[in-house]
Amino acid sequence: MPARKTAAIFLLALLCAAPSIPALGSRDQSAGQPRKIEATGVVRLVGTSLFPTLVITGEEREWHIDQREQEKLMGLQQQTVTVKAQEHSYELFFANGLSAGQRYVLRKIAIIRAGDD
């Protein structure tokens, strides 16, 4: 009898936990395929003092700069740049499973033009 009671409690706990599984979030595996692009925009520092990150803000999109590449662009803040890079995209999700949009990350960056054009 105690084994049945334990199994019933376990089954009940499993059923209660099942609806919250989508709230854990995930990443769309089909998104993430890199493509070579040329991006133009203003280099900006965003985030908090603990977790600063560089972005290039273009007219239609914002690209986050990969952590290993940020040193290349750190001295160009508030300037307009054109770069060639690999663009990686990731689907972001809220905790409730709804889509939060795409995040675009640039890697393997080569600066083509920099200045206040």
pLDDT digits over 76-110, tens only? Answer: 999 999 999 999 999 999 999 999 999 999 999 99
How many Cβ atoms from other residues are within 10 Å of residue 11's Cβ? Answer: 10
Candidate from 10-19, 23-32, 61-70 with smallest mean pLDDT: 23-32
Rg (CA), the chain: 21
Q: How does DSSP classify residue 32?
A: T
Half-sphere exposure of 37 (CA within 13 A, CB side): 17
pLDDT digits over 23-65, tens only? Answer: 444 444 445 478 999 999 999 999 888 888 999 999 989 999 9
Angle at 90 between CA 51 and CA 46, to 5 degrees: 25
Domain boundaries of the chain, sorted by first residue:
2-115
Q: Is the pTM of this model over 0.75?
A: no
Number of helices followed by number of strands (H, E) in the chain = 2, 5
Q: Amino acid letter at 67?
A: Q
Please give the sequence-ordered ranges of beta strands (E in DSSP) within 1-117, or none if there are none: 35-47, 52-57, 62-65, 80-93, 99-115
Q: Does domain 2-115 have CATH number 2.30.30?
A: no
Q: What is the pLDDT of residue 73?
A: 93
Task: Concatenate the DSSP letters of all residues of 56-72 into one string.
Answer: EE-SS-EEEEPGGGHHH
